[in-house]
Amino acid sequence: MVNPSTEGSAANKLASAKRARFSPESVDALVNSLERLRLNQPKAVSQTAHVYEPLESHTTDTDSDNGASSKQRIITSWKMQEHLYRRKDCPFPTLARGLFTTIEESILQDHQESGKGGKKTRIVARGYDKFFNIGEVPWTEWDNLAKYSEAPYDLTYKSNGCLILVSAISESEVLVTSKHSLGTTILPKETAHPTTSDAPPVDQPPSAKNKEASSATLPASVSKTDPPDMLEKTPIFDLSTKSGQKKAAKHAAREAKKVEKANADRDRDLYQQTAKEEAEAKRQELHANGGADSAAPAHAEMGRRWLKQTLEKAGKKESDLAKALWDQNLTAVTELCDDDFEEHVLSTPQHLTGLHLHGLNLNTPHFATLSPEKVKAFAQEWGFIPTEFVRLNTLEEVKQYADKVAQEGKWRGEAIEGFVVRTTVKEINSKSDDGEPPYPPGSPFFFKIKFEEPYLMYRQWREITRSLMPLLKENCPGRKSREAFPWTQMGSKLKRPESAVYAEWCAEMMVKEPHLFDNYDKGVVRVRERFLQWTEGAGKNKWQSARKNSEHKAPKDAATKAIIVPVAVPGCGKTILGVALGRLFGFAHTQNDDIKQKKTAATFMKNIVELLKKNDVVYCDRNNHLPKHHEELSDLAVNQSFEDHGVRRIALVWDIDSHPYNKALRITSERILSRGENHQSLRPDPADQMRHEAVIRMFMSDFVPPEGGLFDDTIKLGLENSLEQNLRIAADGLCAIMPQLHQPTDAEISKALEEAQSYRPSVKKELQGKETPPPRYYGLSIELDLKQYVGDALASHSSAASDIKQDAEQFLGHLVANGRIVARPHVTIVHEKTVQEETPDEDAKTSTVGPAQRLWNTCEALRKMPSPALFEFDLTALLFNDRVMTLVVDHVRPHQIASSSTKSSGPEESTTQRVDRQHLLDVEKALCEDLKEVLHVTVGTREEGIQPYEARGLVEAWRRGDEGVKRVDLKGLSGIGRVMGMS
């Protein structure tokens, strides 16, 4: 690293580290991070262990002698939740989509890293990093692309097929995978993931899934007329009165709807189960008779077949390809386009059927890929279909070129889904921001441009057809009523006029010509072409009418309806804001929390639609923190009920992920404590004050801001802002979007907020959240973003020898790049083990309470205070060695905001205030006198096996004068934290 010459060098280096946050320095670091994330957030990351056996064609006498290629290997595939890729604080150490690793003997030295016990971890196949559409994330917005990318821009043809990765498992064996699978035996999940390549395979019986499915079959004795359990308790009505008769009639109507829904659910489940059994029986029959479809190959298996065919046609051997990939440590990224195997949205002409070579990726933790020229040459050498590309020199040329192709609908004579654009990250000597790609300067960087027509419409037709498949059954209720299954499961698929016409045609043809839909996965294009022929003949009038309605939909600026969608977590103040906006502008308001059913989504959407029919603007009060929430609300813009009005979609997005986690948690928790019982279900539990925080944590872990394009307008609100500030921001933003609104005065804002704060929910539900376990230790929950804080400290608030400071910058860069920074920092105050160790013996004559027990009792009392016990502290030094980095904490004192009500000792001070004040002073005394030698905040550890508690030993060694501890003095830095029980 270059020796720093300016004060800003540390900030620049931290920015560089952030740009490399998806570039782990080693395979071990990558796998350890993924494994840790899998254990801590099992919904975010999953892994599957595959048993992989070499193909017979690869086994040679030499292989058999040395045993290197004849072993069964255990290969692990890693799969990450798609929507989390878009989070600002994306938890993954890599953006790779399609990642396979294995642990092998140390004889494979060229592509290995140091491992334990002679075993080494290797990436055996690697797909592209996740790349995003224009506007989908901040760094693919056109303005940011202009700032952070540089020429050349290579626009490559986006094939419409399935991903196939081709790599080398050894110098003579090829590995073929789909995105997440090898198409081979999978180890059961309950089996421990093997750590060696010679672990014995565990076969899963082919019929296991079928047996499991059979056990779930509905009993034959179930009757459609049997009332569900919910009807067993029938209320008694006084039928001698008119009010009693009305109540009885309403009750009967409600129960009839429940029966109808229960029967529809049974029909659906029974149909789906029968369809699965019939498909399995047909597959087994074909297999027994050796039929053409008996193999039913998985994607990876079909990829193997096509690879063999491709190489034979080119006069090449698989072992030669393996050697070429092995020597360069490459994965060939291909797209299989074969309509006979699996049809996709766009049809593939015969001359383009096969494996298209799109890229050659290095099997490294960071994303690295070869140039399009080298990829094309490799494709021509080995018989793959080359991917066409065009090179442009400016971003403006890219936009113009893409617009022209989109209008024409074809590129070089072929239908096209869009372009994948390859560029390079530009060197920018400035502080990083949200619009910067998460890669170091000089790295390859991809984004995509997808064309809406006709690709998106054709894709929707495919999904409509699959959803309507139950209509092929004569007893399907959807044949008689559009209010029955499967029509009730269609969601927003029919909101586009052309798609509604297509669905009606499909339903009709499934009755008239059911064989048209046989083996639909290989007949997508066949069915679509048949429909398009119909639109030119008998269905011409219906089709033209649908196209006319679609083309004349009101643009967003002409829309007369609007939905306002808060995107938040509990405790942001979204309900009070919605009520206040209703007072100011007369907006309708519906709350998800008012719905009493366990599953609220369908009712919530129905309530919005009904209110929107009668009102121009509806406030959709829900946290709306998940991508599926954004999508279903965005779909209201194409709801047929409002096609003559247009619906403008406005998002109010709180800046949740712009704050340190602990700070955001504290702010939202305080507000829930403050509102007390004034909520339907998320209320403080007097016996367990951390219960509501567990709920907030769940929402915060899933929170994702909406992707670009789903909403017409976005208004950003501040988590730290007061209700009045956010109301003013929202009101000003809405008035700018909807000029017909009256611009409220400050007095009107204050009055609306005052009225809103008197709001009380009309529904009370069971207390939300589960009881939390007792704490194992108490600590200060520190409200710092350590990545930013330590980087800024080194840049502007530090003093040390240049070599020490440079070492600190390098270590911090390593921690940032490898995801080793502590995400939720804290200062440990007292641990239960310390209390247990000082507990006097039973034989002792006196049972005095030790200092640790007193401190524990004090912290427990502080935790139960009405307001959080906040403390300030100074950060005086940054300590590190080659294993751990930590901040030294000094001068802990009560934070004045938290202690303002307890500082005064005047005559009006209550007994409770005096006790709380004394507790604060007791903790201050203990932290400044008893524990001052060890107080610290762990910044991070170099690797997985190093425990954070080593930071305490580092502080103690420094206090003793150990010269092996490196130190950077810090000046004028402080922080705050609250006392919390932790486990």
760-773 residue pLDDT tens: 988 888 878 778 88
Contact 425, 148 (CB under 8 A): yes
Query: Which pLDDT value is given to residue 219?
Result: 35
Q: How far apart are CA 292 and CA 282, in angstroms?
A: 12
Could you report the per-residue pLDDT of 567-589, keeping only the tens digit for each? 999 999 999 999 999 999 999 99
Smallest Cα–Cα separation from 708: which of 433, 396, 447?
447
Predicted confidence band at 267 (pLDDT cuts at 50, 70, 90)?
A: low
Q: How far apart are CA 210 and CA 49, in angstroms?
A: 21
Provide, rounded to the nearest whole percent, the portion of the chain with pLDDT above 70: 77
Predicted confidence band at 326 (pLDDT cuts at 50, 70, 90)?
A: very high
Lowest mean pLDDT among 513-522, 804-813, 897-906: 897-906
Query: Which pLDDT value is given to residue 909?
Result: 47
Contact 95, 444 (CB under 8 A): no
The SS3 of residue 713 is strand
Q: Which two tokens stand for residue 211?
A: 């047996």
180 CA to centre of own chain: 17
Could you report the per-residue pLDDT of 155-166, keeping only the tens digit for each? 998 877 889 999
Smallest Cα–Cα separation from 928: which of 983, 889, 882?
889
> Given phi > 0 = left and psi -120 to 50 = alpha, else beta, which region is 412?
left
Query: Which pLDDT value is given to residue 62?
Result: 42
137 CA to centre of own chain: 13
Res. 563: pLDDT tops 90: yes
Predicted confidence band at 193 (pLDDT cuts at 50, 70, 90)?
A: very low
Q: CA separation (Å) from 849 to 83, 499, 529, 854, 856? A: 52, 75, 84, 7, 11
541 CA to centre of own chain: 44
Res. 812: pLDDT tops 70: yes
Q: How far apart are CA 508 and CA 441, in angstroms?
A: 57
Query: Which pLDDT value is given to residue 281?
Result: 61
Rounded-to-5 percentages of helix, strand, coil across the chain: 45, 20, 40
The continuous run of DSSP H or E covering 73 comes out as strand 73-80
Q: CA separation (Å) from 24 to 34, 80, 362? A: 11, 16, 14
Res. 56: pLDDT tops 90: no
Q: How far apart are CA 184 and CA 203, in angstroms?
A: 10
Smallest Cα–Cα separation from 442: which of 432, 430, 427?
427
Q: What is the three-state SS of 357-395?
A: EEEEEECCCCCCECCHHHHHHHHHHHCCEECCEEEECCH
Q: Which two tokens stand for residue 441?
A: 């300067």
Res. 632: pLDDT tops 90: no
Q: CA Rg, the chain, in Å?
A: 32
Q: CA separation (Å) from 11 to 87, 813, 835, 933? A: 23, 10, 42, 30
Contact 690, 772 (CB under 8 A): yes
Segment 413-427 shows an average pLDDT of 86
Contact 126, 344 (CB under 8 A): no
* Phi, psi angle pair for 621, to nearest 5°: -80, 100
Instruction: Compute how many other C-beta atoms are within 10 angstroms of the C-beta atom of residue 231.
Output: 13
**What distance separates the 2 farthest-apart alpha carbons in the chain?**
102
Segment 733-762 shows an average pLDDT of 93
Res. 238: pLDDT tops 80: no
The strands making up 99-105's β-sheet, listed across from edge to edge, are 45-52, 73-80, 99-105, 119-126
Q: How far apart are CA 744 and CA 583, in angstroms?
A: 11
- Side-chain-side CA neighbours of residue 716 (13 Å): 5
Res. 221: pLDDT tops 60: no
Res. 449: pLDDT tops 80: yes
Res. 324: pLDDT tops 60: yes
Segment 838-852 shows an average pLDDT of 65
Which residue in the block uniquely carries the two structure tokens 């909406």?
A: 706
Predicted confidence band at 847 (pLDDT cuts at 50, 70, 90)?
A: low
Contact 879, 954 (CB under 8 A): yes
Smallest Cα–Cα separation from 78: which of 121, 125, 141?
125
Which letter does DSSP use for residue 477 in this model?
A: G
821 CA to centre of own chain: 20
Segment 791-818 shows an average pLDDT of 85
Res. 378: pLDDT tops 50: yes
Instruction: Compute how many other C-beta atoms are within 10 angstroms of the C-beta atom of residue 889.
Output: 25
Q: Which residue has the higher pLDDT, 276 or 113?
A: 276
Query: Which pLDDT value is given to residue 557?
Result: 64
Q: Which residue has the higher pLDDT, 773 or 328?
A: 328
Which amino acid, one-letter code, is at 504?
E
Contact 362, 368 (CB under 8 A): yes
Res. 274: pLDDT tops 90: no
The continuous run of DSSP H or E covering 565 comes out as strand 561-567
Res. 170: pLDDT tops 60: yes
Smallest Cα–Cα separation from 966: which of 790, 793, 806?
806
Task: Please provide the average confidence, as pLDDT, over all residues in the chain.
Answer: 80
Q: Which two tokens stand for residue 95?
A: 């953006």
Q: Which residue has the higher pLDDT, 849 or 343?
A: 849
Res. 206: pLDDT tops 50: no
Q: At a CB cut-off of 8 Å and minimum separation 6, what does 918 contact?
A: none
Query: Which pLDDT value is given to residue 59?
Result: 43
Predicted confidence band at 182 (pLDDT cuts at 50, 70, 90)?
A: confident
Could you report the per-residue pLDDT of 869-892, keeping only the tens digit for each? 788 999 999 999 999 999 999 988
Predicted confidence band at 195 (pLDDT cuts at 50, 70, 90)?
A: very low
Predicted confidence band at 63 (pLDDT cuts at 50, 70, 90)?
A: very low
Contact 579, 589 (CB under 8 A): yes
Q: CA separation (Å) from 941 to 15, 81, 240, 254, 948? A: 20, 26, 78, 60, 6
Query: Which pLDDT value is given to residue 668?
Result: 92
| CA angle 135–140–146, rounded 5-degree value | 120
Could you report the per-residue pLDDT of 911-935, keeping only the tens digit for each? 555 555 666 676 776 665 667 788 8
Query: Which pLDDT value is given to residue 136?
Result: 80
Catalogue all structural domains in the chain, each as residue range(s) with its CATH number: 18-129+178-205 (no CATH), 480-551 (no CATH), 556-756 (3.40.50.300), 777-982 (3.90.1740)
Res. 204: pLDDT tops 60: no
Cα separation of the two ends of the chain: 40
Q: Which residues pair with 336 in a beta bridge?
A: 162, 355
Segment 976-982 shows an average pLDDT of 88
CA torsion sign for 283, 289, 292, 296 is positive
Provide, rounded to the nearest whole percent, the portion of the chain with pLDDT above 90: 33
Q: How far apart are CA 417 and CA 401, in angstroms?
A: 14
Segment 85-99 shows an average pLDDT of 85
640 CA to centre of own chain: 31
- Helices assigned H by DSSP within 192-240: 208-215
Buried/exposed code over 241-263 (b: 16+ C-beta within 10 A; e: otherwise): eeeeeeebeeeeeeeeeebeebb
Res. 83: pLDDT tops 60: yes
Contact 978, 870 (CB under 8 A): yes
Segment 449-457 shows an average pLDDT of 73
Smallest Cα–Cα separation from 276: which of 331, 226, 209?
209
